[in-house]
Structure 1
Amino acid sequence: MSFTEVKRINGPEAATVSMGIYLGLSSIIILTLEISLGTFVFLFFTINLLISKTIKESTAGLTSLSELETAIREVKTDFNKKNITQSNILELENIREAFIETFTDLEEANNKLAKSKAKEMATAAYRNLIHDLQVPVMAIGHYMQILDHEMASIEDRKQAQVRIVDLAEQIIKQIKSARTNLALEATIESSDLLVSVETATQNAKASLAEKAFVEVKTILPNQSIRHPHDSVLLGRAISNLVSNAIDAAKSKVFVEVVPADKFISIKISDDGHGMSMDDASLFLQGRGKSTKADRMGMGISSANHIVRSHGGKIVYQKSQMGGACFEIKLQGDLA
């Protein structure tokens, strides 16, 4: 409380008035504090409520995103599964629909590509079959002319008859082999070629336990070689060749992988008796007659078809050990 004197205007000169002013400073301070505290409490609860709702919504969104990611990973491991849970969030639902649409398009494209590749392989196989049959068919025609020739001797005619029967058997054998090979479907994927070679060699050794005295040595590069191939089919081709090598070897078989700039060489060599170039050509075409039933002839023919389906070829030559050497050449740059 403070007092001050106030002189009245136009009043008596002696008339003065004392005026008291009540400031109430402490009350103002208390009121200000109460208002500030109330405002703080209100804002605190309001902000906490907003934060809680934001966290809840964010958690729900992250949960949906996590479920979407899990579903996508499941589809990645199992291409036949496309059951991705729908989301209430527009963006995630768009991602889900886009993924399913893209996956379906890729699946259709892969199916078309596989069918196209199968047709291409079948066409190439038939073309190779027709090419390989030209020689025996022409030979049969030649011997038929000898049979019909007036000047041909009885001995020549008998020999021609024997050769016609042999060639006919070879042609039937080759057609049967080609029909079996055409049923094979290659699934080409990029994987480590050395693993396929090593596995195929071990399988061949295991299948010929009675030949345990034969040393089978693999000579492989230090670094892995990633190359597009069907590990199962190409492994079967290598196993066939290694099995034949073990069967024919006296004591040693070498399996060597030699990478080059434009192709990869897989050599299977043995120290057996080997074979002539003509016999090797017949075996590769499926017309060879093995001294040990038909296993060897069909095995080499099947291996040749599989390698051809990989865009490669098999070349025969004498091995440095005096036996046979079948070399698989796979074309293409190394991965």
Structure 2
Amino acid sequence: MHGEDTEGRLVASACTIAIDDLPDGLIVTDGFGRVLSVNRAAARLTRVTPERAVGRDINETFPFRDHDGREWWKALDPEGGLRTRSRVPERPLHLPGGQELYVSARLVREPARGGDVERVAIMLRDGGARARLERSRADLVSTVAHELRSPLTSVKGFTATLLAKWSRFTDEQKRVMLDTINTDADRVTRLITELLDVSRIESGRLEVHKQVVDIPARVRRVIAGRVAAGEPEDRFLLGHADDLPEMWLDQDKVDQILGNLVENALRHGRGTVTIEIQSVGWGVTVSVRDQGEGIEPELATRVFRQFWRGNSRRRGGTGLGLFIVKGLVEAHGGTIIVQRAPEGGAEFRFTVPTGAPDFA
């Protein structure tokens, strides 16, 4: 008997730890509204401790009401309604202090089909966090609309002009306009790619396909592209150790990381852009430095947020590049930081592990 009691306590303790690990709030009641458990997130959101809530009626401890002041639990009515009902959709509710939470519920029946409600699992989300997310999405829509307008206006204008007055232009004039259309179409493609990356990063759906990647060779490729675009070759300095380990990474994503960091150094920095690659105990570290104004320490935590563009007059871009870089690095199991470079500019340093092939 003593062993069974001990086992029961261990199971109860494990269950408590499990629900406390959930990122969202969780309140569990019986079918009559008596509170059985409250996880850590729910206690934080509602400011009601488990000690105050467990064993009491939910209307005493969590008197949720809708915008019209109606009692949520009374409207929920677990004992009434269709016996096939198992889920209650999420909706905004208020506690007496005016705090807004998004609340949904699941009715646990026994038997599962048509049985009585044994427990109600109530999920809570922070209304403030939801509002911030909605503002972020609104900012994203606004930014996308702004960034798309310029290249699409250019494409439309030049295309309409060429169609209407083709015979009036020389071959050289046509080539210039078509080059402009091609460049602006590339801008639109890059923007769409960024948006897809943001979506995959935020939803956790970013896939990494590993292969052997020669990082110094990828850096030289990025530099060659910038030189072909008009940057002087002597503006770049590449240094790397000779004992770099074999790296299994997603080559396209490595190119994207390096390209964004180099472009950021060119756009916001000055002087020489230095890229150094070194071996560390568990992988490889790549640093990209410029000789510009640098980033103030208090801003270091903000640079990887969406829409961050700093104080540079040469703003440009969507402000999504560094957010995407951080997501791509972390998808490889790596880390990235920004700090002041020895020359006074900004230094972005990321480290990626040696990893293993996908088929290993």
Q: TM-score, normalised by structure 2?
A: 0.41
Pick the structure with more helix per residue: 1
Pick the structure with more strand per residue: 2
User: Which is higher, the Rg of structure 1 or of structure 2?
Assistant: 1
